Amino acid sequence: MTADPVAIARDLIRCRSVTPEEGGALAYLQELLTNAGFVVHRAAFAEPGTAPVDNLYARVGSEKPNLVFAGHTDVVPPGDEAAWRHPPFAGDVADAKLYGRGAVDMKGGIACFVAAALDYLKAIGGKPRNGSISLLITGDEESVAVNGTIKLLQWAAARGETFDHCILGEPSNVEVVGDTIKAGRRGSLNGTLIVSGRQGHVAYPDRADNPIRGLVTLIAALQAPLDEGSAHFDPSHLEFTSVDVGNETVNLIPSQARARFNIRYNDCHSQTALKTLIERRAQTAAAGRVRYSFEWQPSNADVFVTERGPFTDFAVAAIAEVTGRQPKLSTSGGTSDARFIKDYCPVLEFGLVGQTMHAVDECAPVADLLTLTAIYRRIIEKYFG
């Protein structure tokens, strides 16, 4: 092996790229990729009320198909650095593990893909002849994610760039490298239920209308199952996250009560249909006796699934060849930048093991970095083979 994923990951960890800081991480990749023959662009995006963020797009080759690897160099803050046994931005290797913030989420994943691509290009003597390899790397994933992948994709499309298939290198595996590919994600929708009543003295409830009674009725009704799951997904789930009255007085019936909730929904629903379903259930439970309304927050996290096809088969076969494992195609977990990429091309998420992500002493076993590099290399070979 010529390119060393451990060294690349270590160098990236040493860049303090806590969102929205670039920290030198993109500059490092820019140099590495330029030297390997990639054409590299940097694109900074800003929006009122958010910090400007730097992003990178690199491509080698000009033909189709264009296989794109997506990822983020930004990391979450380390928290109390004194709590780390290995400093979060040192990139220490100890007990055969690489330590540091971003080791698994997801500087390690980026390093593995870069090493795999560089080795592949070296082996074929330069540019791919029958396609292109690209990297779409953002510095804005861990925070509000408004100046990152979503804008970088629009920027690339405006330049005439097209993508055929994407690997997003988020830590997808649960226990060992090769156990899980994410091939879709649930949607996420946030709402608030507001019940109105009439304020009054607690000793004279007949003169008031307590909204808490109505809220309890509606909360109970809204917790009924939403579906039984589908071919690709577990059942959708609604979870209340906060119940708020804000009443600091002991002898007062409040005039309003609110409850916030989040729904993780599968492909049995569209966002619109889901809102209709929830509102209809509330209407039935209220039976004309509870005055209520809903506030829905805008959501850009729609449900999607990446259907099984040749691209998925390449990834599954590469994992089986390198690890002997048959990966599960999963749609569980939270949202990711895949929700934006899926509008441009089919996207699979496959990276390291997620167990220590965002934790103190985040680390990736050196063996995992080597295994993931070998898998990415096999996927690239199959893709252009």
Catalytic residues: 74, 141
How far the first Cα of the chain sits from its last, in Å, is 20
Type and span of the H or E element at 297: none
Residue 104 or 156: the one with the smaller Cβ distance to Zn ion is: 104
Task: Give min distance, CB of 142 to Zn ion, in A.
Answer: 7
Task: Give min distance, CB of 362 to Zn ion, in A.
Answer: 11
Task: Give min distance, CB of 170 to Zn ion, in A.
Answer: 5
Task: Give min distance, CB of 311 to Zn ion, in A.
Answer: 21
Task: Give min distance, CB of 382 to Zn ion, in A.
Answer: 25
CA-to-CA distance for 331 and 146, rounded, in angstroms? Answer: 23
337 near Zn ion, judged by CB under 5 A: no
Q: Which is nearest to 134 in space by CA: 365, 360, 344?
A: 344
Residue 13 or 106: the one with the smaller Cβ distance to Zn ion is: 106
Letters for 60-79 (x = contact with Zn ion by CB under 5 A, - = none) are --------------------
Residue 5 or 171: the one with the smaller Cβ distance to Zn ion is: 171
Letters for 155-174 (x = contact with Zn ion by CB under 5 A, - = none) are ---------------x----
Q: Which is nearest to 373 in space by CA: 354, 350, 345?
A: 350
Whether 50 contacts 116, CB under 8 Å: no
DSSP state of 207: G
Q: Which is nearest to 26 in space by CA: 2, 4, 42, 37?
A: 42
Residue 40 or 145: the one with the smaller Cβ distance to Zn ion is: 145
CA-to-CA distance for 129 and 124, rounded, in angstroms? Answer: 9
**Alpha-carbon torsion angle 234, 343, 132, 10, nearest 10:** -60
Residue 19 or 132: the one with the smaller Cβ distance to Zn ion is: 19
Residue 74 or 209: the one with the smaller Cβ distance to Zn ion is: 74
Burial class (CB in 10 A: 0-12, 13-18, 19+), 243: middle
CA-to-CA distance for 186 and 3, rounded, in angstroms? Answer: 36
Which residues on neighbouring strands pair with residue 353, listed in sequence order?
173
Q: Which is nearest to 91 in space by CA: 1, 24, 21?
A: 24
* Cα separations in angstroms, 114 against 198, 222, 241: 63, 47, 40
Question: Contacts with Zn ion in 257-296 (CB under 5 A)?
Answer: none
Letters for 179-218 (x = contact with Zn ion by CB under 5 A, - = none) are ----------------------------------------
CA-to-CA distance for 186 and 155, rounded, in angstroms? Answer: 26
Question: Contacts with Zn ion in 9-68 (CB under 5 A)?
Answer: none
Residue 146 or 245: the one with the smaller Cβ distance to Zn ion is: 146
Task: Give min distance, CB of 372 to Zn ion, in A.
Answer: 15
Our measurement of the distance from residue 145's CA atom to the centroid of its chain's CA atoms, rounded to an integer in Å, reads 10
CA-to-CA distance for 20 and 12, rounded, in angstroms? Answer: 15
Residue 106 or 238: the one with the smaller Cβ distance to Zn ion is: 106
Residue nearest to Zn ion (CB): 105
DSSP secondary structure letters along 51-113 = EEEEEEEEEE-SSSPEEEEEEE--B---S-GGG-SS-TTT--EETTEEESTTTTTTHHHHHHH
User: Residues in contact with Zn ion, total (CB under 5 A)?
Assistant: 3
Question: Contacts with Zn ion in 83-112 (CB under 5 A)?
Answer: 105-106
**What count of Cα atoms within 13 Å lies in the side-chain half-sphere of residue 272?**
0
Task: Give min distance, CB of 354 to Zn ion, in A.
Answer: 9
Task: Give min distance, CB of 357 to Zn ion, in A.
Answer: 7
- Residues lying near Zn ion in the complex (CB under 5 A) are found at 105-106, 170
